[in-house]
Chains A and B, each alone.
Chain A
Amino acid sequence: MASSTDSTLQTPLADQHHALGAKMVPFAGWTMPLDYGSILGESRAVRTSAGLFDVSHMARFLFTGPHAAAELDAALGGSILDQPVGKARYTMILQEDGGILDDLITYRTGEKEIFMVVNAANRHRDWEILTSRLQQTECADLTEDGGGILALQGPDSHRLLATLSGVDDFCPQFLDLGQIPSPWGELFLARTGYTGEHGYEIFATAEQIVPVWNRLLELGAAPVGLGARDVLRLEAALALYGHEIHEQITPLDAGLRFAIKGWKTRNFAGGEALRALPEPSIELAGFTAEKRVPREGYAIFCDGKEVGTICSGAFSATLNQPIATGYIKKGLEGQFTVDFRGKQLPVTRTTLPFVPHRSRD
């Protein structure tokens, strides 16, 4: 893969982003499209039709060998041994003290083969930790093999892929893995995403990624940048490493027990610490605001007393209002306000997610 002169990595679609007039920004060591002109318009496209994201910055690892599943089961927070071949699963890498090092998706591509996608920002640390925890498993970092990941998200995404492939019966359930034909060879994909919409992530080879990107845009998908991706994931209340989840937060704090299935009985890195912890005293709360966006780091108050800090904030195109998340003490009730750069303004506590998930529809 080509590296630009300032040592940031470029995805295989750099020329396409440039031609589309994308605003490119540095992100986790990569040069990535922030938007193609309108963060709000791009997030609306995903909710109403279909949006196409280049997420080739995300790290791709492959683990193979007869012990791969058992070793990963112990190295990760989630259970891998009972993950069926042909299914994806959301889980995490935990510290021994139960803090979250990263969240990720495992794809059971075979009895003895597990494909994994982790956050770009954590690629090298994840690699160090996983390879140190896995003794008998072959590990490969495929991130810079010239291929990449396309996320096609939105209610029209199935139709677009059916038109591209000429087949209709792929990935019937959420988290299904699949293969569909294309003029550029079989495409490997999964019914996964980071928007809460019905959608797919396509793991394209170096030869496939540019023509598949171009074809999906031709068929009507809107190119969508990282700006809208952040808005969409926050609307769907999907956690983002460095915001809702990090080393000082456990999966129990974050309300993500589903990501560490079987944690009460399984033997895995961080499991013992989690079992020894008392019930979490904090919870992730959702807030809406009137006009101004409660942004990361702003203090949250309840009846005038400081009770927490905003993790993520964005202007929701779907709800046409600012939305935010923040950890607060469990069971708090009262009048919530946020300190907007010196001004206390009211916010309204609301249930998460802000926008209902349709990924299973």
Chain B
Amino acid sequence: MRPNDRSYLDSHEWAKLEDNLVTIGITDFAVEQLGELVYLDLPEVGQTLTAGEALGEVESVKAVSDINSPVSGEVVEVHSDLADNLEALQRDPLHEGWLVKVKVSCADSLDGLKDAAAYEEIVAAES
């Protein structure tokens, strides 16, 4: 099973809350479905994200896909060298391939997202 320390979106993003910072990424299942990555577009520091809306795009040899933000908040850190090091995202999307860190206003911002067990069922249904 995927790590229990975070929450997941149906559209295959993950969000990990530490204090009032949420780290956002895409799951290994998303990467596997996309295949070989060629391009990544991330927001700038200071940009405001809205839960459920696109924060950026990831493109593979096969397809281009929006990356949806699991939370609302302000971008405080961007993994900006990842776009030139897509191997890291390809290899380890759950850790090394994190995308952005977002400051959220309330601690319950991850409510409504899936836990690892519920996300597992989504993956099983789409596999």
A-to-B contact residues, CB < 8 Å = 34-35, 38-40, 227, 231, 291-293, 295, 314-315, 322, 341
B residues whose Cβ falls under 8 Å from a Cβ of A: 35-36, 38-39, 57, 59, 61-62, 64
Q: Is the CB of A40 within 8 A of B64?
A: no
New A-B contacts (15) at CB < 8 Å, excluding given A40-B36, A292-B38, A341-B57: A35-B35, A38-B36, A39-B35, A39-B36, A227-B61, A227-B62, A231-B61, A292-B59, A293-B38, A293-B59, A295-B64, A314-B61, A315-B36, A322-B38, A341-B64
In the assembled complex, the Cα of A341 lies from the Cα of B39 at a distance in Å of 14
How long is the Cα–Cα vector from A291 to B59 in the complex, in angstroms?
Answer: 9
Enumerate 12 A-B pairs (CB-CB under 8 Å) in ascending A order. A38-B35, A39-B36, A39-B61, A40-B36, A40-B61, A227-B35, A227-B62, A291-B39, A292-B39, A293-B38, A293-B64, A314-B61
Contacts of B59 in A (CB 8 A): 292-293
Q: Which residues of B contact A231 (CB under 8 A)?
A: 61
Question: Chain B nearest CB: distance from A229 CB in Å?
Answer: 13
What's the nearest-Cβ distance from chain B to residue A247, in Å?
26
Residues of A within 8 Å of B35, CB to CB, are 35, 38-39, 227
Q: With the chains together, A153 CA to B123 CA distance in Å?
A: 36
Bound together, the chains give a CA A322 to CA B59 distance in angstroms of 11
Closest to B63 in A: A295
Q: Which B residue's beta carbon lies closest to that of A38?
A: B36
Bound-state Cα–Cα, A360 to B38, Å:
32
Closest 10 CB pairs of A and B: A315-B61, A39-B61, A291-B39, A292-B39, A315-B38, A40-B36, A292-B59, A39-B36, A40-B61, A39-B35
Interchain CA distance A293-B61 in the complex, whole Å = 8
Complex: A231 Cα to B62 Cα, angstroms: 10
Q: How far is the CB of A37 from chain B (nearest CB, A)?
A: 9
Complex CA–CA separation, A326 to B35 (angstroms): 25
**A39 CA to B35 CA, complexed, in Å:** 8
A-chain residues with CB within 8 Å of residue B62 when the two chains form the complex: 34, 39, 227
Contacts of A341 in B (CB 8 A): 57, 64
Q: A315 to chain B: which residues have CB within 8 Å?
A: 36, 38, 61
